[in-house]
Amino acid sequence: MSKAVAEKFIFSSESVTEGHPDKVADQISDGILDAILKDDPEGRVACETLCTTGVVIVAGEITTKTYVDIPRLTREIVKEIGYTRAKYGFDGDTCAVLTAIDEQSSDIAIGVDNALEVRGKSLTEQDIAKIGAGDQGMMFGYACNDTEEYMPAPIALAHKLARQLARARRDGLISYLRPDGKTQVSLQYEGRRVTRADTIVVAAQHHPEASLERIRADVTEHVIKPIVPPELIDAKTRILVNPTGRFVKGGPMADTGLTGRKIIVDTYGGWVPHGGGAFSGKDPTKVDRSGAYMARYAAKNIVAAGLADECQIQVAYAIGVAEPVSINVETFGTGKVSNEKIGHLLRKHFDFRPAAIIRDLDLRKPQYRALAAYGQIGRIDISPLPGWEKTDRIDALKRDVA
């Protein structure tokens, strides 16, 4: 049912900190991708990470001309996240790092590789047409005008809380915090308008001697109050901090982390469908990543141009074929022009072919580890702004509907 016509409902989204085990895995995978792209922009990477008590396993298919010291890089990332002491259950200096890397399948390369691809921005129209999608699949992009990020309010607020929880730890505002943590925001809507916060949940890993009373007071003061707008809080709002009462054992010691297991956190918090493909550890020839970024880019520009209050785009590909097999537009009754017209505008102003996406969004450069926690979409906190968060097609779109 369209969110635009719903009368009253509560919707929840969650985020996690960089110390969450799945996010540790995502950051290692994307850290390796960045290291390869730094010296070999045409490197092909499909890198998966598993982390558990005392060990990190890095596996996948990588084809590159450069060399990356994966064990050393993995340890650096683990320590930068904050796992620097064995008593945390995970320590970048002492954990084992195992690697199992093969070259990417030549069967896939048949439909994707093209010697002309290395020309980057100088690709001709003929070149772009020759470079097919790295896999079949469907991707979704979305934008709405509810927040400054053009994101659904629940996931935008959950990410801000998670970043603030990590900041409170790193800056020493709450000295006993440890790297793992989760946030969840449940907002009440009337139609498309957020009216109140129903429930705010924060789970913060902590030193064993920190009392629950102190944790709840500190997290409320230093994490929740600076982030949640006071007008959303009322007498019925539930604020739940460490509702189980204790969160000492966390990170990879408490739960195995895997690359790609937080795809809803990475995107729209469940507000719209997800095609199922993860982002982290994949180079931009993989349309799971680049296609989703392009769909977000197009949807954000449609909304920013005032053509709809919210816009969802589904794009689908066949492996080895450059042109998408379908592009679907849904504006949930908020469009100022028809969905059919928006579809025509998309095909005119946005090139969804894989090589064109890589060129137009500048996806061959190292930029992905910074996105591996706190969302891949809506990241206006990152400088320079990711290509898919720019709104540089607004004027052209407006001219076309004037």
DSSP state of 103: P
114: amino acid identity, one letter? N
Q: Note the Cα 342 to chain centre separation in Å.
A: 25
Residue with the two structure tokens 């000492």: 248
pTM assigned to the model: 0.92
pLDDT for residue 5: 53
Instruction: Name the 3-class secondary structure at 217.
Output: helix
Return the closest-CA partner of residue 231 out of 195, 200, 192, 186: 195
Asked if 184 and 269 touch (Cβ cutoff 8 Å), the reply is: no
pLDDT for residue 117: 40
pLDDT for residue 123: 63
DSSP 326-388: EEEEE-TT-BSS-HHHHHHHHHHH---SHHHHHHHHTTTSS-SGGGSSS-SSS-TTSSSPPGG
- The helix or strand, by DSSP H or E, that contains position 101, with its residue range, turns out to be strand 96-102
Return the closest-CA partner of residue 45 out of 99, 97, 98, 102: 102
Q: How far is CA 53 from CA 88, 250, 256, 261, in A?
A: 10, 10, 8, 18
Distance CA 263, CA 258 (A): 11
16 strand-pairing partners: 182
Q: What is the dihedral of CA 23, 28, 29, 30, to 10 degrees?
A: 90
Asked if 339 and 302 touch (Cβ cutoff 8 Å), the reply is: no
pLDDT for residue 35: 97
Asked if 68 and 32 touch (Cβ cutoff 8 Å), the reply is: yes
Distance CA 328, CA 339 (A): 9
For the sheet containing 310-317, what is the strand order? Answer: 137-144, 310-317, 326-330
Assign residue 345 a region: left if phi > 0, alpha if psi is -120 to 50, beta otherwise? alpha
119: amino acid identity, one letter? R
pLDDT along the chain (402 residues), means of 10: 67 98 98 97 96 95 94 96 83 93 61 44 64 85 97 98 98 96 98 96 96 97 97 97 93 94 98 96 95 98 98 95 94 96 96 95 97 98 96 96 82
List CB contacts of 171: < 8 A, sequence separation 6 or more: none
pLDDT for residue 308: 98
Instruction: Name the 3-class secondary structure at 188.
Output: strand
pLDDT for residue 130: 66
List CB contacts of 369: < 8 A, sequence separation 6 or more: 27, 30, 31, 33, 34, 77
